[in-house]
Amino acid sequence: MVIKQVELQHVCGITSKLPDTGQVEVAFAGKSNVGKSSLINALMNRKSLARTSAQPGKTQTINYYHINEEMYLVDLPGYGFARASEEVKAKWGKLIEDYLHQSKMLHAVFLLIDIRHAPSNNDRIMYDWILRNGYQPIIIATKLDKIKRSQLQKQIKLIRETLEVEKDTIVIPFSAETKQGREEIWNLIDEIRSD
Ligand code: GDP
């Protein structure tokens, strides 16, 4: 995809009605600080359009980035911020579940996992929500530049085993520093769009 135009078109909070975009949406989920904003900025070739987390977990909105006026990258709120109150946690949960449940145009959900660590309990919950709503999650293993090449296979295996993913589940290593993995992600999105 050649990025000609990007616009943050909808920002939805807990009380907003989710928009009927009428165009393909692909969504990104992951815990706070996993590198979601960095990934979305890298996909859009923007430095800082998607917020990077100065205050992790603070902004609980779903942000719709309109790409070339033809599709949307949907940034779901980051979860798992330990200091958030139970009330706040319940709210982000509902927001994400409502989106997964209601969006008519959602074609794929990417789940971001930090390549250095085993997925957390919240990651497993998120993975199951995605599955239960009828989507096969695509995993993006973030911060690839932070591990040695020799650790790559071991870390991917750890992610696959902890989430108990199915055999054909795709795991794409990605680095926002080097942009490694960017083309692969866009190729996949292009495929998803033309399905
Ligand atoms: P978000 O909360 O998931 O949106 O995470 P951010 O994109 O704000 O990233 C959290 C922190 O990790 C920031 O300090 C980023 O600079 C850093 N970060 C994100 N992606 C990468 C990456 O691929 N490599 C490295 N080295 N740092 C990253």
What string of pLDDT tens digits covers the 195 residues of the chain? Answer: 899 999 999 999 888 899 999 999 999 999 989 999 999 999 999 988 887 554 554 568 899 999 999 999 999 998 876 667 777 777 788 889 999 999 999 999 999 999 999 999 999 999 999 999 999 999 999 999 999 999 999 999 999 999 999 999 999 999 999 999 999 999 999 999 988
**Cβ 142 under 6 angstroms from ligand 1:** yes
For 167-173, the CB contacts below 8 A with 24+ separation are 169/136, 169/137, 169/138, 169/139, 170/138, 170/139, 171/139, 171/140, 171/141, 172/138, 172/139, 172/140, 172/141, 173/115, 173/140, 173/141, 173/144
- Cβ 35 under 6 angstroms from ligand 1: yes
Which residue has a Cα nearest atom 25 of ligand 1?
143
What is the C-alpha separation between 113 and 142, in angstroms, rounded? 6
| CA gap 135, 149 in Å, rounded | 30
CATH of region 6-194: 3.40.50.300
ipTM over 0.95: yes
**pTM of whole model > 0.80?**
yes
Domain ranges of the chain: 6-194
The conformation of residue 31, written as its DSSP 8-state character, comes to: B
| Distance in Å, CA 51 to ligand 1 centroid | 11
